[in-house]
């Protein structure tokens, strides 16, 4: 079982660290739908029209170290995205591993 979990963790780290850099930068469905009815410039900033995105506010954690799919302070976009993905995988692995460990202890 330990080899299976470690192989899954390694695969997730590889995908998060390497493949995540090749993800599409195009807006997802929600971003696309929320800007329908507005005109935008080349940078994606709203310049006119009426749409749901005009009322959008900055997220409270927008200045956090892992905001916007990257690591703050790292200028290389590929490295920043990869490290952010690796940090996310390790965080999820730690939290779920802790939950499973606690559940296993309470059963005994």
Query: Which pLDDT band holds residue 25 (cuts at 50, 70, 90)?
Result: confident
Question: Which residues make Cβ contacts (< 8 Å) with residue 105, sequence separation at least 6?
Answer: none
Contacts of 52 (CB under 8 A, 6+ apart): 33, 34, 35, 36, 37
Share of the chain above pLDDT 90, in %: 41
Domain boundaries, the chain: 27-57, 70-108
User: Which is more confident, 99 or 59?
Assistant: 99
Tell me what the mean pLDDT of segment 25-53 comes to.
85
pLDDT at position 27 over 80:
no
What pTM, to 2 d.p., does this model score?
0.70
Least confident of 1-10, 23-32, 41-50, 76-85: 23-32
Residue 55 pLDDT more than 80?
yes
Alpha-carbon distance of 101 to 107, in angstroms, equals 10
What's the rounded Cα separation, in Å, for the pair 86 and 51? 35
């Amino acid at each position: 079982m330990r080899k299976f979990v470690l192989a899954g963790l390694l695969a997730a780290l590889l995908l998060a660290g390497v493949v995540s850099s090749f993800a599409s930068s195009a807006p997802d469905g929600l971003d696309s739908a929320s800007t329908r009815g507005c005109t935008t410039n080349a940078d994606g900033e709203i310049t006119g029209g009426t749409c749901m995105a005009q009322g959008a506010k900055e997220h409270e954690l927008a200045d956090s170290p892992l905001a916007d799919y990257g690591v703050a302070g790292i200028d290389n976009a590929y490295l920043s995205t990869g490290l952010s993905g690796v940090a996310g995988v390790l965080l999820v692995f730690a939290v779920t591993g802790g939950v499973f460990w606690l559940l296993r202890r309470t059963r005994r």
